[in-house]
Amino acid sequence: MHFDLADLRLLSAIAATGSLSKAAASVPVAVSAASTRLRLFEQRCGLSLFIRRADGMQPTPAGRLVLERSRSVLGEAEKLSATLRELAGAERITLQLAATTVANSTFLPAALGPFLADYPEIDLQLVEQKSSEILEAVQAGECEIGVYDGNLPTGGLLSLPFRDDKLVLLVPRQHALAKRHMAPLRDALGYPFVCLPAERAMQRFIEGMAMKYVMPLKIRVRAPSFDAIAQLVAQDVGIAMLPEAAASRFALELPVRIVPLEDAWATRELRLCIRGWEQLSPHARQLVNFLASG
């Protein structure tokens, strides 16, 4: 049976106003045109959808079922219309993704480039936080998507795999640790370190691990980025702890060595977290699928 959105909008307007004339004015069409459209719709479906009374029009039992479905169709049509406007660039979509230092500095930039090229209507805000703060932010609805250390409990959030990562030591080539195949963090704590600023999420994690050995890091320099840290390590200023993904690149470019850490906590699985698929906006759902499939 044929019908169009104008038919459904008229039915909803009649139910909302209880009056054919008021419904016609809200659409807007002439009352005669509205009456004809309703009559033809009822004839095509073989149903009486409204009871005409002196005090107004009331939906019949069949009419109530049709109205329920009509509202659902109109809602989906509006969502489609909004999506088309977004894809055409008429509307900007802002997504917020909270992630750890490691994810933001290593894996996410390469992963997000192709996605953002495919969706030019999206503006993405990357926020750096500790894993526990990321989980809290997603749980509270402050951001839709998080990338966190998968060793932590999610508190009921949906968790999906993203990437595997290891923290390693980066040392000058002539350093005493350079010939070691592996080393525990305890063996490195006697040497000066080149670190990130204290407020960075990864740095807070590293300093917390050192404190478990009751041996705080000997911090000689705090540098703003992994690149700056690697340059300083190459000049024998100190040693550093970096994600293996970043350290591997520096080991090819600079006179430095990678020493894997024996500590179990140094091997980490980065995971995506969301409250649930049904809570995600369409674009956020596409982003999660893209990241999880990479």
| CATH (residue range 5-66) | 1.10.10.10
Q: Check: CB of residue 57 under 8 Å from CB of residue 43.
A: no
pLDDT of 86: 64
The CATH class of the 87-163+269-293 domain is alpha beta
pTM of the model: 0.62
pLDDT of 87: 66
Strand, helix or coil at 173?
A: coil
H helices present in 140-281, as ranges: 185-188, 201-212, 226-234, 244-253
Q: Note whether 5-66 and 87-163+269-293 share their fold.
A: no
Strand, helix or coil at 97?
A: strand
Strand, helix or coil at 285?
A: helix
Report the alpha-carbon angle 73-286-86, nearest 5: 60
All structural domains of the chain with their residue ranges:
5-66, 87-163+269-293, 166-266
pLDDT of 33: 86
For tokens 């990479």, name the residue.
Answer: 294
Provide the residue-wise pLDDT of the chain in tens; the chain has 294 residues: 677 888 898 899 999 999 988 998 888 888 888 889 899 998 988 899 999 888 889 999 998 999 999 888 888 888 787 777 666 665 678 899 999 988 998 899 989 999 999 988 889 999 999 899 999 999 999 999 999 988 888 989 999 999 998 999 999 999 999 999 999 999 999 999 999 999 988 899 899 999 988 888 999 999 999 999 999 999 999 999 999 999 999 999 999 999 999 999 999 899 999 999 999 988 999 999 999 997
Q: What is the rounded CA–CA span in Å between residue 68 and residue 160?
A: 36
Maximum alpha-carbon separation in the chain:
97
| CATH (residue range 166-266) | 3.40.190.10
Q: What is the rounded CA–CA span in Å between residue 273 and residue 277?
A: 11
pLDDT of 1: 65
Q: Check: CB of residue 192 under 8 Å from CB of residue 238.
A: yes
